[in-house]
Chains A and B, each alone.
Chain A
């Protein structure tokens, strides 16, 4: 079993839809959870990070962590064509990934159609 599982998609939604992106993990030591957005042929851009369980909201984005289920989600409200990108979850036992060992999911490719 891989440490982090993420459905690669592709996921296609109409503009204005609520998008739900998810990752599951197996390592109960993970405490820090990040979501990166990567546009085609660009580097990953940090969207959100959360610590332990709970929700965090930033504009149209909400990150949710359920440590009891080892499940994290990123919700995008009122999705826009500019949200079309690959979304990577990443996690670590330590803030930011001690010694660089962020564990990434495979990424979900999202397409928002006008």
Chain B
């Protein structure tokens, strides 16, 4: 298994909703990442987990809450989002935080 999977593919939510994005990999990678990508822009790093511990939070608003339940899973909990949070949310993983990153297909989020 050489891929990163993300669910759901698409998500529409209101500003008062609570939802979660899920990311999974079975490559034995110990570093996992969340990125946000707006249209025609490169990915922007949000969070880095290394060995299931949060190692980087790039000053992301608290309405985004990451969770790493185990070495294969990464969640991003969403609450009280704003319309400007609409974007493609990408998960990536790497063997360690110093190895090449492999991206999942992303979750396209629309906040109404």
Which residues of chain A have a CB within 8 Å of any CB of chain B?
A: 8, 34, 36, 41-46, 49, 88, 94-102, 104-107
A6's nearest neighbour on chain B, judged by CB, is: B42
Q: Is the CB of B100 within 8 A of A100?
A: no
B99's nearest neighbour on chain A, judged by CB, is: A96
Of B42, B56, B88, most A-chain CB atoms within 10 Å: B42
Residues of chain B from 24 to 49 with CB closer than 8 A to chain A in the complex: 31, 33, 40-43, 45, 48
- Is there a chain A Cβ closer than 8 Å to B102's Cβ? yes
CA distance A71 to B31 in the complex (A): 29
Which residues of chain B have a CB within 8 Å of any CB of chain A?
A: 4, 6, 31, 33, 40-43, 45, 48, 50, 55-56, 88, 90, 94, 96-106, 108
| CB neighbours of B45 from chain A (8 A) | 100-102
Q: Is the CB of B97 within 8 A of A100?
A: yes
Question: Which of A41, A45, A105 contacts B103 (CB under 8 A)?
Answer: A45
A49's nearest neighbour on chain B, judged by CB, is: B100
A36's nearest neighbour on chain B, judged by CB, is: B103
Q: Chain B's nearest CB lies how many Å from the CB of A24?
A: 15
Q: Is the CB of B101 within 8 A of A95?
A: no
Q: Is the CB of A46 within 8 A of B102?
A: yes
Q: A8-B40, A49-B100, A105-B42 are in contact. Are A96 and B90 (CB under 8 A)?
A: no
Q: A43-B103, A99-B55, A99-B56 are in contact. Are A106 and B41 (CB under 8 A)?
A: yes
CA distance A107 to B100 in the complex (A): 18
Q: Is the CB of B42 within 8 A of A107?
A: yes
CA distance A46 to B40 in the complex (A): 18
